[in-house]
Amino acid sequence: MREIYYSHAIREAIAEEMRRDESVFILGEDIAGYGGAFKVTQGLVEEFGAARVKNTPISENSIVGVGVGAAITGMRPIVDIMFQDFITLAMDQIVNHAAKFHYMYGNQPRVPLVIRTPAGGGRNYGPTHSQSLEAWFMHVPGLKICAPSTAADAKGLLKSAIRDDNPVLFVESKLLYGVKGQVPDGDVTVPLGEAKVVREGTHLTLVSYSRMTIECQKAADALSKVGIECEVIDLRCLAPLDMDTVAASVEKTGRAIVVAEDCRTAGVSAEVMARIVEECFDFLQAPVRRVAGADAPIPCADVLEKAALPDAQKIVDAAAGLLRDYS
């Protein structure tokens, strides 16, 4: 085990898979010499060359289209979308092509494509560079979605995603890039679609993914000091969604709060809440609640951005209110 940055864990996963399989390559805007907007791909072009670490024009639909074409002809491309906000420009290629070829052509083509993209707020980048749009893609059959919260899971899930024969959207929180974590040595993968219990508890289940899992752990630490023990579930993947792990926890605690950074209305939290109600209703001792982003564009101003996004204190307040009202 070594302690490395989340961003370095992602880079390690890419490099290891490129060494292991010559069909793996990466393409995107400024990923070669510059190393990408967040320096995640820094150094890769020196090892693998410009033929496998490809700079592209500023045209997201074209970038993903090249990735889809390469995938169905036997390659394993990794497409880098500089900000998740820009993924809107590639919706046609992702939703109507990558996700559907498998179904339209009777399982003949495979689309082993990974689309990496940084998401979320917290850096005062404003409305068009701070969004969390993963709920849109949960609505699309044929896509897998990963959103790891730790360096170890980022590396292990990305390696699994690259080896998977289906298109995978790999969502990376910008604020996690500079966070260190223990990462195993060697070729260690994490299966897609398996949630993880990151903290045991008895009074309340907190369900989240990506950076909000860290906020849930902070909230659980604070609540523990006043005698409230929260179980924290890190979904890790949003599609497939591991409801078995969530249901087992809710059955034990009887209460659940779902935490997500994206907008409250029709967001990830809405889907997970609905599934908890559908599958765990008999075990619930209180209504399911959520803590989510505001239904508003993400502001640039620091104080306003903090007001719009979930954090540990908002989770603590929601948990305390739930237990007060339904003790």
Quote the tokens at residue 284: 């619930």
- Residue 129 a catalytic site member: yes
249, 215 contact by CB (below 8 A): no
Can you identify the CATH homologous superfamily of domain 2-183?
Answer: Thiamin diphosphate (ThDP)-binding fold, Pyr/PP domains (3.40.50.970)
DSSP, residue by residue, 54-100? EE--S-HHHHHHHHHHHHHTT-EEEEE-SSGGGGGGGHIIIIIIITT
Are both 2-183 and 196-325 of the same fold?
yes
pLDDT in tens, the chain (327 residues): 999 999 999 999 999 999 999 999 999 999 999 999 999 999 999 999 999 999 999 999 999 999 999 999 999 999 999 999 999 999 999 999 999 999 999 888 999 999 999 999 999 999 999 999 999 999 999 999 999 999 999 999 999 999 999 999 999 999 999 999 999 998 999 999 999 999 999 999 999 999 999 999 999 999 999 999 999 999 999 999 999 999 999 999 999 999 999 999 999 999 999 999 999 999 999 999 999 999 999 999 999 999 999 999 999 999 999 999 998
- The class that CATH gives domain 196-325 is alpha beta
**Considering 8, 97, 129, 203, which one is annotated as catalytic?**
129
Q: Which of 29, 60, 172, 305 is catalytic?
A: 60
Could you confirm whether 60 is annotated as catalytic? yes
Domain ranges of the chain: 2-183, 196-325
Query: Residue holding tokens 């809710």?
Result: 250
